[in-house]
Amino acid sequence: MAAPDYVPAPALDDPRVYSSPPWRGDAWTADRPGDLAGPRPTGSMLGDPGPDAGYALRLARSFHDRLVLGPPDSAEDVVAGCVAVAMRRASMFGRGPVVHDLTVAFTLWGFLAPAPADLVDVRSRVFASLAMVHHYTERRALVDTVPADLLRLSPADVTAFVGAEPDQVVEMARAALAAQSHD
């Protein structure tokens, strides 16, 4: 415990200060069973891994009461698809998910505001059953159809894009539907 300034201290006492632990001379190597040696593998269906995907699901709970769903849409399917898109966006920035990643994903597919009827029709087929585990390839097809430069935009810019270019969003949904049916 520190003593007040007016209490005399012997001049010979060594003051306690922080000292770092001894330096470790040998280099770290990836030798654990789960560690990858070399660069991260790339290719079809491998995705864009990033940390803490489970947190994106937690963040998605805050959107449940704001989602604008059509009659055939299921909140679980919408969350599964949009969380996958949000995780790709987060991994592009080299970080875990934040609320803006989910805002971009839900806005992009028209789930935070009323969407045009043709988008609702196509996206209901794109998002159908995405929450089921065995629909991974369909989720990947959905994520892969979103252009990377679109995911790099801010939430406000994505909102402006969706408002100005609804036909491009519909075409993106049709491309996702076509990719899902080919897999």
Question: Is the pLDDT confidence value at 183 over 80?
Answer: no
Q: Which of 20-29, 66-75, 95-104, 115-124 has the highest mean pLDDT?
A: 95-104
DSSP per-residue letters across the chain: -PPPTTS---TTSPPP---PPPPP-SPP---STTPPPSSPP-STT-----S-HHHHHHHHGGGGGG----TT--HHHHHHHHHHHHHHHHHHTTS---HHHHHHHHHHTT-SS---HHHHHHHHHHSTTTTSGGGHHHHHHHHHTS-HHHHTS-HHHHHHHHHH-HHHHHHHHHHHHHHHHH-
Domain assignment present for residue 101? The answer is yes
Q: Which of 50-54, 57-61, 136-140 has the highest mean pLDDT?
A: 57-61
Question: Is the pLDDT confidence value at 86 over 90?
Answer: yes
pLDDT tens for 59-85 read 999 999 999 998 888 999 999 999 999
Shortest CA distance to 77 belongs to which of 67, 62, 89? 67
More confident residue, 2 or 139: 139
Question: Is the pLDDT confidence value at 28 over 70?
Answer: no
State the residue range of the domain holding 172.
Answer: 53-182
Question: Is the pLDDT confidence value at 45 over 90?
Answer: no
- Structure token pair of residue 46: 């491998």
Domain assignment present for residue 157? The answer is yes
Q: How many domains, in total, are found in the chain?
A: 1
Question: Is the pLDDT confidence value at 27 over 80?
Answer: no
Rounded-to-integer distance, Cα 8 and Cα 120, Å:
78
Question: What average pLDDT does the segment 18-43 reach?
Answer: 70
Question: What average pLDDT does the segment 106-133 reach?
Answer: 92
Domain assignment present for residue 88? The answer is yes
> What pLDDT is recorded for position 54?
86
> What pLDDT is recorded for position 181?
78
